[in-house]
Amino acid sequence: MASLTSAINVNVDTEIKNQATEILKGLGLNMSTFINMALAQVVKRDGVPFEVVNPKPSRKLKKALKELEKVENGKIKLKNYDNMADLIKDLNED
């Protein structure tokens, strides 16, 4: 039996397409080959072949953001330095 092909028309962000095309080119692939590979993986895995999640900040990042908020609100006072030498001197004293 002969293999049949179908065309897919997709609208994508131009900059994303251009960046992806360059990356794929560096890998020796074109967009059509990559899309065929990706679709084959969807079928093989019976789902999306990569994790699709809403990004969540780590605990460490959340803590840093809270600290930054306190700095911005004046609840935490930070020392300012006029030059690198004073900063280095302070760091070495601790």
- Over residues 12-51, the pLDDT tens digits come to 999 999 999 999 999 999 999 999 999 999 999 999 999 8
pLDDT of residue 1: 57
At a CB cut-off of 8 Å and minimum separation 6, what does 38 contact?
Answer: 49
d(C-alpha 68, C-alpha 72), whole Å: 6
d(C-alpha 73, C-alpha 63), whole Å: 15
CA-based R_g, the chain, Å: 25
Closest CA to 70 of 82, 58, 78, 79: 78
d(C-alpha 29, C-alpha 38), whole Å: 12
Encode pLDDT of 43-83 as tens digits.
Answer: 999 999 998 888 889 999 999 999 999 999 999 999 999 99
d(C-alpha 7, C-alpha 32), whole Å: 10
